[in-house]
């Protein structure tokens, strides 16, 4: 077998693997519950630094939440904050999934009637609904993320939704449910339980998750190569 043929075989196997994983993997809309006093979490340097930055910037704390899964493979936790003016949700994720440390932060705003504006410091699964305008700032600190998000949000003249502190988690879940429902209409996803809280990609959705999502991340990653040397918050 020639080297060129071997290369394309490996590429094909990788694509097949990526599409297969997206097709079979179950996604949960509601798998977070409030952290209770009898349960503790490990605060990584990243998680600590981002939460301290949120407090310094005047965000209002809405709670810490942990994954409620039977499998010990899922050990993620999330701190949720509300921006001072109430128009943005800040989610800071930590913990582990399958032993891999999670370090990811999102700033999310909802522009009426159905536009989600999101700024994040780490790549993630593509939203195939068409509702989300996402900007990825590799290795960004919270100050940079907030400045970028405010600038992006100012370009939308429509009304911005206000998020009550006591409904922060519910708001996150509602936006996720809205995007999945739209993906279902497009034939890209299907709910697999009566409560419509667990879903997975259809074969078409799994393919587009690779074609638009993964390949889009590679393209964006190349554009942000200069940011690779930036230290992440909390890093020494």
Q: Under 8 Å CB-to-CB from 117, ≥6 apart: which residues?
A: 108, 109, 110, 111, 132, 133, 149, 152, 153, 156
The alpha carbon torsion through 65, 191, 89, 54 (nearest 10 deg) reads 40
Q: What is the DSSP letter of 211?
A: I
Q: With a threshold of 0.85, does the pTM exceed it?
A: yes
pLDDT tens digit sequence for 77-136? 999 999 999 999 999 999 998 889 999 999 999 999 999 999 999 887 789 999 999 999
Long-range contacts of 15-18 (CB under 8 A, 24+ apart): 15/210, 18/209, 18/210, 18/214
pLDDT tens digit sequence for 14-65? 778 888 988 999 999 999 999 999 989 999 999 999 999 999 999 999 999 9
For residue 127, count CB atoms less than 10 angstroms from its CB and return exposed for 0-12, middle for 13-18, buried for 19 or more: buried
């Amino acid at each position: 077998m020639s080297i060129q043929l071997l290369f394309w075989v490996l590429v094909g196997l990788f694509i097949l693997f990526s599409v297969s994983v997206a097709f079979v993997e179950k996604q949960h809309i509601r798998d977070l519950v409030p952290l209770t006093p009898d349960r503790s979490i490990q605060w990584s340097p990243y998680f600590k630094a981002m939460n301290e930055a949120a407090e310094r910037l005047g965000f209002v704390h809405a709670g810490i939440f942990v994954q409620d899964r039977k499998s010990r493979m899922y050990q993620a936790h999330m701190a949720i904050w509300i921006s001072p003016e109430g128009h943005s949700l800040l989610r800071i994720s930590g913990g582990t999934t399958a032993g891999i440390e999670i370090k990811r932060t999102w700033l999310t705003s909802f522009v009426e009637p159905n536009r989600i504006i999101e700024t994040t410091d780490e790549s993630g699964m593509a939203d195939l609904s068409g509702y989300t305008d996402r900007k990825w700032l590799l290795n960004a600190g919270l100050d940079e993320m907030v400045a970028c998000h405010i600038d992006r949000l100012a370009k939308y003249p429509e009304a911005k939704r206000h998020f009550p502190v006591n409904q922060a988690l519910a708001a996150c879940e509602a936006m996720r449910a809205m995007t999945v429902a739209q993906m279902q209409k497009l034939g890209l996803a299907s709910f697999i339980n009566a409560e419509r809280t667990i879903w997975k990609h259809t074969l078409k959705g799994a393919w587009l998750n690779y074609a638009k999502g993964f390949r889009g991340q590679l393209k964006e990653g190349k554009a942000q190569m200069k940011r690779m040397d930036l230290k992440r918050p909390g890093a020494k």
